[in-house]
Each structure stands twice: as structure tokens, then as C-alpha cells.
Amino acid sequence: MTPSVQTPSTEQFEISITTAAGRVSAVVHTPTTFIPITSLVPLLRSLGKQAQQLEETHAAVEGRLCSCTKGCAACCRMLVPLSPPEAFRLMDHVRQWPLEQQQRLAVRLADIKSVLAAHGIWQRLLAVVESEQPPNDDDLAPLNEAYYSLRIPCPFLEDNVCSVYEERPSACRELLVTSPPANCDDIGSGTVEALPIPIRIGTILGLVWGELTGSVPRLIPLPLVAEWVEHHQSERARKWQGTVLLNSALDKVQRYLSQGQ
């Protein structure tokens, strides 16, 4: 990261990161004032998108084209995790909706909660989000499988189209497949060919949040997002100096890449 221009309220940085897919870069104007952590989300998503586009280009050269299209919502039955900054930003977006649309979402969330509670899954999800231990993939795998077996449509689907597409979680953005769309009807079949994910942005944001708040890295299961955000409004209001947020985020990206995750 190289600082190049500074004004009384912002500092400009030129960022360059080397991923397994190739080099990605950006020019960032970072406020020197105190800002919410949600301000990091667009920047990191931009870097992640660049890296993904490099992966798509490499695959296309080999004749493997991405088969994901609008309306193909088979993967929208999976258990999606969000980092706290993404969760806050998503619900900020929802609050801009017309009241009627917000009410429809509330009904869908309540219905999903009832179904998950009846299968004992809601309680397990609560245990994950309230745990004082970092999430463990091995421990989460059976929970993911149990959730997926119910084939519950994402609460943010409307007419089989994502209603929060511009603010959809990083986990949704990063799942790109080159296998036939029909294969996605059963994600666990072993026939789905997904592109590599150069940088898991949700993981990075979760790590940044944990460091800045002195808590464990946390990921919130999507069905719990509205309740979790409602119970953490005081944390939503916290702010940090812009350069502190940027340095923390880039440090986590570099550590993630160096560990070959």
C-alpha cells in the first residue's frame, strides 16, 4: 500500500495485492476521520471481484465458462454466512425498502425460523453465532448439510430473484460454477464444479471485526441476520479512523493469502 495524495479529510492510497489468480489493484480515498466498519465492505468486495474475474478469465481460456445466470437460484438454498460488517450493511439496505416489502421479508424470516426450530436447527445456529470460539469448518459441516437438506429458499428471494443483489453476501458472490446448471439442483452430489475463490471477503471482514472489537471472528448465518443486527445496534454505531480500518483489512488480506487459504 502506497500513500500518494493527502487532503485535510482524506488520504489516497494505491493498493496492489497478488493472489493465486493474479494481481489486483485499486486507488482508495480513505477518510482520515472516524467512519463505520461498513465503509470497508465496498472496497474489499471490489478487490474480491477483480480476483474472481481473473479466475473466470483463466477458466474461459480452458473452455470452462461460468454457467451462473439470473433466475438460477439453486444455490439459494444453502446456509449463507455473513460477517458482521456485511450484516449491518445488508439490514441498512433493507431499511430503505418500502414498508410492505419489509413486512413480506419479516414474514418469510419468521416462517423460516419456525421450520428450523421444528428441526432443532435454529438452536444450533444460535449456538454458533453466540459462541466464544472461532467458527470451525469441521463442526459446521453437519449443520450446513442439515440446513441444505430442507431446501429452504433464501428469505431474500422474491420470484426466484435476489432482492438484495447489490448487497448480497460475499459468500453468494464468490460461488461461481462452470458445470451445467442442472447439477446445482444437488450441491452435494459431487458434480458441481466451482471456480477457486482467491480471497474470501466475508472471512477477511470477520477477522477485521474480531480484531477491532476484541471478540472472536464471527460469521452470522443468514436466517439470523435481522435478529442479530437488532440486538447489536450499539456495535453498529461504533466508528474507527479510516486509515486504521484500511490497514487492518489489508493486513488480514495479506495474512490470508500468505497462509494459502
Which tens digit of pLDDT belongs to each residue from 73-89? 888 999 999 999 999 99
* Stretch 39-57: mean pLDDT: 94
**Per-residue pLDDT tens digits for 184-217:** 888 777 889 999 999 999 999 999 999 999 998 8
Strand blocks (E) in 93-219: 157-158, 161-162
Cα 105 from chain centre: 19
pLDDT at 228: 96
pLDDT at 21 over 60: yes
pLDDT at 3 over 80: no
Q: What is the pLDDT of residue 9?
A: 83
For the cut 60, the answer to whether the pLDDT of residue 31 exceeds it is yes
State residue 69's pLDDT score: 83
Say if residue 32's pLDDT is above 90.
no
High-pLDDT (> 70) share of the chain, %:
96
Q: Is the pLDDT of residue 4 over 70?
A: no
> SS3 for 14?
strand
Residue 257 has pLDDT above 80, yes or no: yes
pLDDT given for residue 7 in this prediction? 52
37 neighbors 212 (Cβ within 8 angstroms) = yes
pLDDT given at position 139 = 77
CB count in 10 Å sphere of residue 217: 19
Q: Which residue pairs from 190-193 have beta carbons closer than 8 angstroms and sit at least 24 positions apart in sequence?
A: 193/64
Count of domains observed in the chain: 1
pLDDT in tens, 154-172: 999 998 899 999 999 999 9
C-alpha distances (whole Å) from 207 to each of 83, 126, 158, 249 are 9, 20, 31, 8
Convert the pLDDT of each residue in 85-95 to its tens digit.
999 999 999 99
Report helix angle 201-213 to 40-61, nearest 10: 150
Spatial distance between the Cα atoms of 135 and 111, rounded to a whole number of angstroms: 26
The mean pLDDT of the chain is: 91
Q: Domain range for residue 68? A: 2-258
Res 169: pLDDT: 96
pLDDT tens digits for 137-150? 777 889 999 999 99
pLDDT for position 261: 53
Ranked by mean pLDDT, which of 94-108, 126-140, 183-197 comes out on top? Answer: 94-108
